[in-house]
Structure 1
Amino acid sequence: MMKVAKFGGSSVADASMIQKVAQIIRSDQDRKFIIVSAPGKRSKTDIKVTDLLVELGKKHEANEAVDDVKAKIIERFQTMINNLALSSAIVDDIKDTIDGVLYDESLKDNRLDSLKAMGEDSLAKVLSAYLQSLGEEATYINPRDAGIIVSDEPGNAQVLDESYEKIYRLRDHKGIMIIPGFFGFTKDQKLMTFPRGGSDITGAIIAAGIKADLYENFTDVDSVYCVNPNIVENPKEISELTYKEMRELSYAGFSVFQDEALIPAFKAKIPVCIKNTNNPEKEGTMIVSDRKNPITGTVVGIASDKGFLSLYVSKYLMNREIGFGKNLLQILVDEGISFEHAPSGIDDMSVIIRKDEFPKEKEQVVIKRIQEELDVDMVTVERDLAMIMLVGEGMNSTYGVASQSTQAFANASVNIEMINQGSSEVSVMFGIKEDELEKAVQSLYHVFFENKIKV
């Protein structure tokens, strides 16, 4: 069996965690391809290395002093290297690389990407050196040498299909390969970073490229929970999810993955296992293309997120006006506003938008354009909304999900502002007021996972 293992920021936050990671790698000779994130927080008040690198780049761009931030970054790696009893030459290399990126004029267009990538790149070198110190045949592999070719889009790079043939050749490499996540190189050899979830993306790309049997994603939880454990105490763990279910849950607020991160692995139908670096013997959660074990309920997960608003538009006989929806959404496009959902009726339409996309100053501009260009009867904006999504492939063949859901909201005395059934029939979304999110989610959990239905 050939495995790709990715370790997130919390898994490589300090020397003690790196020692755990090394033990996990050495415990299974099939773990040959290792992807790492940049060091994450060591405590709740700590700062991620990537955030420090971003701060460094912004200060440099603003011609502000950078020595203090640079010292914090060097200190993180110096402490790590000292505690692992590694050569200080690694720290010297990190210092030289930082200075090289800061003052290389050829990097002007992608300097921030080059800085952000240093967290992953440096950590990969540290882990490789530590495994070598333990007698392992481990090699640091730069994403350029791994064959990760990406589009020329700073901060939003997309992998090019031609990468996969090059990545496949890594199968012939001997020993353990340590590959930094989060970035690749264009055909012109410019470094570009992936969007959110970048190291997960790298892991999925490598897994697809080498045609892995399994992609293990190590994080700081034993498995994926069916609901946010900050809302429901000791929620049930999910042993198995389908790709569709995970995509829907990630999109709707599950923090385990950014919703697009696993697409390369999904397309290649490579199973993904979520595991805990602090508890590696736990089975974790399997994400598969087709469920092998029979589903035990209609709903496998409840995702929730705050920070939404609804742009409501009403016009009599809207349904007869060809192109109305297109024209409404075009106004949002013109104003640079991305939307999430657009449920509609005969005479009305709502557009669900994340509030960060729709600041107050844009609101008046958009409302005025809708009134003047679309001649509507009413246009209003309702802010402070939360979205709750029920997900499960068993929902499309089960009666009563909607009635159970509405009963759960009624039990919690929560008014439903919006309902939207996903076209995939894998999910149904509810919009409610933000301040009622927790009690609504708790009530839904009782109904679907504890069978406590009040009639």
Structure 2
Amino acid sequence: MKVVKFGGSSVASAEQLEKVANIIKADKERKIVVVSAPGKRFKEDEKVTDLLIELGEAFLDGKDYQNAMNKIVNRFSDITTALGLDDMLLRVIQDDIASVVASDQANELKMDALKAIGEDSLAKVFGAYLASTGTNATYINPRDAGIFVSDQPGNAQILEESFEKLYQLRNRDEILVIPGFFGYTKQGTLMTFPRGGSDITGSIVAAGVKADLYENFTDVDSVFCVNPTIVKQPKEITTLTYREMRELSYAGFSVFHDEALIPAFKAKIPVCIKNTNNPSASGTMIVSERKLNGNPVVGIASDTGFISLYISKYLMNREIGFGRRLLNILEDEHISFEHAPSGIDDMTVILRESQLTPEKEERIMSRIKEELKADTISIERDLAMIMIVGEGMNSAVGVAKNATAAFANANINIEMINQGSSEVSVMFGVKSSNLEPAVRSLYDMFFNQ
């Protein structure tokens, strides 16, 4: 049995949905389909989820939301008309939006319910289209499928009892079409996963039904070893381990949401990244273990938008609880940290800049000075993080030497180095303006020499 997930670009139009249907019908083992909301059809297009968010924000602000409503209905109308489906589906979509808007739910629950309409509506449309082609297929709601989640709007986590319920889907004869991105609490309240959560749904369902393979269809033939907007025609990755993919996705790779593989990883289900527009391409396999090919580095990931919070205090290393108290200050401001390299008398905490508002920054600096009696506190902005990833690095000699040589070749100063305890990754901090030349130099070092 295969569970198949299709991303937003794969379901953006009627033409794309016809391709998806052909992919499903070409392999009788593809029994469960998870779909995203319609994405962009072209560069300037709008994603349906963004339109639903626009509608919800307009409603909550007391503004006219009819324009957003019309855009959403027109997107689905274009699809249903081209596929020759009944207009009743459009009325269902309009009724679903009207029902959520008119509900007496709290605002955050209302936004979750609105955002989920994109995936839910597309699953209904695609289920109806598959059935219209003579395929034994049907839409199934996540609640009926057994996707039960924690009570955390916008950040739902799967509950363990879901997996036993999901396993029963193996007994169904039809091809099942399940909307991604959301589940239900045991009290019946809709909750969404973090943005990009349709990948999470696919992984959860694959783990629940104990699939032999989880296929994730997107718009690329395979995963590239580096961002193709930085390096032209980079090498493709044929095989990755779960740990490598998770490190890469966390550090800026856009193929997967960084939480998406956890259920598949735990269930040891192989994952294959494939292209909806070129389904015959072999794609990239993600597995528990792989044979090393001689190059210790499998990929280079990068991202901008970081800052470093530097704290120095003489004899910090002898002060029991210093690090805990520092991180408690961040916790009180609801700020998570990315990395925290330290020395004898100093400690640096790497944060996402988007989390630190001017008000929070002022409070944090004041508390560190008053409560921790720090000698020096400073913030460095405009940082980028570059991560080299590979299972082979923990047994290879000279990886760090070659990496730092690549930075030197590009005449770039390294602001920070941090090696993960898993020894699968090494992270470097540089100024954001140096990100692209640094990545290109690293690529030349590890993939061209």
TM-score, structure 2 as length reference: 0.98
Q: Deviations over 1:381-429 (max 9, x none)?
A: 0000000001001000011011101100000000000000100011000
- Check whether the contact 1:10–1:42 (CA below 8 A) recurs between aligned residues: yes
- What residue number does 1:182 align with? 181
Aligned residue type for 1:45: E
2:385 corresponds, among 375, 387, 395, to 387
- What residue number does 2:239 align with? 240
Following superposition, the deviation at residue 335 of structure 1 comes to 1.9
CA–CA distance in structure 1, aligned partners of residues 133 and 381 of structure 2:
56
- What residue number does 2:206 align with? 207
Q: Deviations over 1:85-128 (max 9, x none)?
A: 11111111111111111112256551111111110011011111
Q: Where does structure 2 lack aligned partners over 5 or more consecutive residues?
A: none
CA–CA distance in structure 2, aligned partners of residues 108 and 46 of structure 1:
27
Moved more, 125-134 or 234-243: 125-134
CA–CA distance in structure 1, aligned partners of residues 311 and 68 of structure 2:
48
- 1:7-406 matches, within 5 Å, as 7-106=6-105, 110-291=109-290, 293-406=291-404
SS in 2 for 1:33: strand
Q: Deviations over 1:28-68 (max 9, x none)?
A: 01001000000001111111000111111111111211211
SS in 2 for 1:309: strand
SS in 1 for 2:125: helix
Change (3 A) 1:155 1:137: same
- Check whether the contact 1:273–1:286 (CA below 8 A) recurs between aligned residues: yes
SS in 2 for 1:149: coil
- Check whether the contact 2:385–2:427 (CA below 8 A) recurs between aligned residues: yes
- Check whether the contact 1:101–1:107 (CA below 8 A) recurs between aligned residues: no
Q: How well do the aligned residues superpose, as a CA RMSD in angstroms?
A: 1.0
Q: Where does structure 1 lack aligned partners over 5 or more consecutive residues?
A: none
SS in 1 for 2:350: strand
Following superposition, the deviation at residue 220 of structure 1 comes to 0.7
Aligned residue type for 2:272: C
Following superposition, the deviation at residue 361 of structure 1 comes to 2.9
- Check whether the contact 2:19–2:276 (CA below 8 A) recurs between aligned residues: yes
2:435 corresponds, among 428, 434, 437, to 437
CA–CA distance in structure 2, aligned partners of residues 441 and 179 of structure 1:
39
SS in 2 for 1:105: coil
Aligned residue type for 2:159: L
SS in 1 for 2:436: helix
CA–CA distance in structure 2, aligned partners of residues 296 and 220 of structure 1:
29
SS in 2 for 1:408: helix
* Poorly superposed stretches of 4+, deviation over 4 Å: 106-109
CA–CA distance in structure 2, aligned partners of residues 410 and 24 of structure 1:
48
Change (3 A) 1:22 1:308: same
CA–CA distance in structure 1, aligned partners of residues 345 and 107 of structure 2:
51
CA–CA distance in structure 2, aligned partners of residues 402 and 154 of structure 1:
42
- Check whether the contact 1:310–1:353 (CA below 8 A) recurs between aligned residues: yes
Moved more, 343-352 or 371-380: 371-380
Following superposition, the deviation at residue 295 of structure 1 comes to 2.6
Q: Does 1:420 align with 2:418?
A: yes
CA–CA distance in structure 2, aligned partners of residues 294 and 218 of structure 1:
26
CA–CA distance in structure 1, aligned partners of residues 64 and 8 of structure 2:
27
CA–CA distance in structure 2, aligned partners of residues 250 and 109 of structure 1:
27
Aligned-residue identity in percent: 65
CA–CA distance in structure 1, aligned partners of residues 274 and 45 of structure 2:
24
- Check whether the contact 2:239–2:284 (CA below 8 A) recurs between aligned residues: yes
Following superposition, the deviation at residue 249 of structure 1 comes to 0.6
CA–CA distance in structure 2, aligned partners of residues 231 and 99 of structure 1:
44
Report how many residues are paired.
Answer: 449
SS in 1 for 2:377: strand
- Check whether the contact 1:167–1:210 (CA below 8 A) recurs between aligned residues: yes
CA–CA distance in structure 2, aligned partners of residues 84 and 420 of structure 1:
52
- Check whether the contact 1:215–1:273 (CA below 8 A) recurs between aligned residues: yes
- Check whether the contact 1:207–1:270 (CA below 8 A) recurs between aligned residues: yes
Aligned residue type for 2:342: S
SS in 1 for 2:216: strand
CA–CA distance in structure 2, aligned partners of residues 104 and 305 of structure 1:
40
